[in-house]
Structure 1
Amino acid sequence: MSALLQPITTATGLKLRNRIAMASMTRNRCIDAYKPGPAHVKYYADRARDGPSIIVTEGVLVDWAGLPWPYAPVMVTEEHAAAWRVVVDAVHKEGALMLFQAWHAGRCQNDEMPTMKGTGRPVFAPSTIPAEGWKYRDLPGMPGHTANVKAIDDPRDLIDTYRRSVSLAKSAGFDGVELLCQGGYLPQQFLNTRANTRTDAYGGTVENRCRFTLELVDAICEIFGGPEFISVRMSPVDTLNDSVVTFEETQETYTYLIKELVRRKVGFINICRRGADLNVKTDDVYSRYPRPEGYPLPLGYDPVLDFSPLVKFPGSASLLMVNQDYGFQEATELVEEGKIDLLMIGRPFMFNPDLINRIEKRLPLAINDRGNQVYYGPYHTPDENYNDWPVAAA
């Protein structure tokens, strides 16, 4: 049996049925007041059945946001929590754990989007520095991220925003939380001197720039009763949403951050390789945003191999989860060599509701042969290109 399919027990006694997790993937199908519905119940339950040990939700916004995805989920009311409870119960029935991915877009929004205009809230960010990039096709002229950004007066207010949303997730029955700390979104904005020029306790030194993320982790620990229920997803060399920084800053920031997370005994450190040039061909839409000139990486640089020793050492209570363009052979070898613990898989789960079964039986994986509308729409019903992928013949 492949090392990826073998069960694993964490340092705190949590039993996982295999070493595979299903990644968060925005699918833009929450058409009923930004809540999941019957299509989501089927989608997640089908993939949990004889499937991965852990399923992470699509990114769920902890506050109303002006995003280019009009039907991304939000967790701000009891009604949202009740809708997610149905999904979580269905996943648990099929034997998988489910993590709530907490997402705040920060400066990566446009305040002219209807969701934001309806709330009257500003676009909050660490500093008044707009993010470059993106196109809001639902707005006249297809502008990018807004230039109308308000610096956060007290970051603890935003931590309270997360706290309210995560508390709702706890009431919905989620097993834990994955904190989205990549993609140029709010936590990464605090980490990043490109977006954070604050002169208070949340800016400047690496310790101050990491403070927001670490205080978020501490708050989530309080709600879920311990750090073992937390995953922190990061992409050290990311370029998405104007997030690129120098290699030197990357090394300083993520060395300090990962050491602090491991010191807190966070359950899962989830490192994404997006932004590294590993000569892997991919259909990932984010590969359209190459690393800009002036920000070189060492030849063949792999952030997972670089930062793995900070997580993988005798006595560490944290597991290293990895993602982005891994083949099964490469991931299996890394597990066997003791360099990683879990593999997170994204897009193949879209087209293969029975992905683990296919891996076990060495059956070919289905691929997307329907075009880019599969990922975010448009669609006639939420089930289209979502719940109409067949399982493999026995």
Structure 2
Amino acid sequence: MKQHIAVIGGGVVGLSTAYALIRAGHDVTLIEQNEDVGLGASYANGGQLSYRYVRPLADAGIPRQALGWMLKPGSPVSLRLRADPKQWRWMLSFLSACNRSTNRRNATLLLQLGLESQAEMATWRAEGLDGYFWRQAGKLVLYRNHTAFRKAVSAIQDPTLEQALSPAECTKIEPAFAHLAPDLAGGVFSPEDEVADSYLFCKALKTSLLSLPRFRYLPGQAALVPETGKNCTLTVDGTRVATDLVVLAAGLNSRDIAAPLGIQLPLYGLKGYSLTLRPSPETLPSVSVTDYDNRIVYARLGDALRVAAMVDIGAEDRSLTPDRLESLRGLVRQTLPGVSTSGTPDTPWTGLRPATPTGIPIIGRSRCENLLLNVGHGALGFTLAAGSAARIATMIGHAHSDGVQK
């Protein structure tokens, strides 16, 4: 049954949700508070579509490892403690998830969602969605630490989709990193993983949606107000918007939008950084690469190289922190000396990735019968967006096929 559905949030998750709902036959209004779509955490992320390498950050040994990082200048993780109950609740839940069994269970859940997302994206491309530098480049994760490499190999669930490689095999897969071979313990290669530009993907979705009469783009500030009964009311810039259902997919802003309904979303912003470089074409790696020990990803997007890294916990502003950017530039010079970060200016960026403590996004119904949630994707928003959107569309379809009015 066709319905009118409002989607709050014009990032990669919200736009994907709107697209999936349009494909399912619904009328959709997309609400975005910024001047255009894709300008938040979706704008300049790492560009990796890591469908198979989706292990949560929360794992055994991570708290001890993170303490070591925090004492090291330029470390992959920094922590700024605040007198903020949201931060402490999130961190306590994160610590409780830092064990091997929870990590493996959640990794299995993320893998399933990742594979669903890859299949959905393939369908969208087959239908003509393009223009965002998509490539099936494969993903190579490089390990310098032998213990971390053995742990990664033991976590491989399907050897046909994830291959354990020696240092020599790693450099054969991607010669741009060949000089690292003496320092490597090994690598894990996922040949079917992909890369694409998340911002251009958002723009492509918006362009496609605007061509359809059943879609409306509504700029403005969304708010949700509790009603008597079990529903909520949607307003945009103070004006009520009539709709059958609402899907909240506004990244970290979802936390504040849901709060008036008594819904406390366990989201916290993990600040990340990226550089976009345009080096000489012959220096660009072809394969998508993750330097695991430094937590840096490298993805070629057209004629550019996107380098993304770092997690700052407790940094709630989106300002570009000079020392963090200089640390990232220094690591790029060490890791890819053929790519000069001084000859050609880079474009720096930072964003707040909306993460749950477990790394598992919240996809489903809420305490309000007319509100669904699609939030908390953390650093995997682009990877999981299409699959999450398809799940939302399926939930709505099943509710009506069962004769349940939500």
Q: Normalising by the residue count of structure 1, what TM-score does the alignment of the two structures yield?
A: 0.29
Report which of the two structures shows the higher radius of gyration computed on alpha carbons.
2
TM-score by length of 2: 0.29
Q: Which has a greater percent of strand? A: 2
**Greater length-normalized contact order (CA 8 Å, ≥ 6 residues apart):** 2
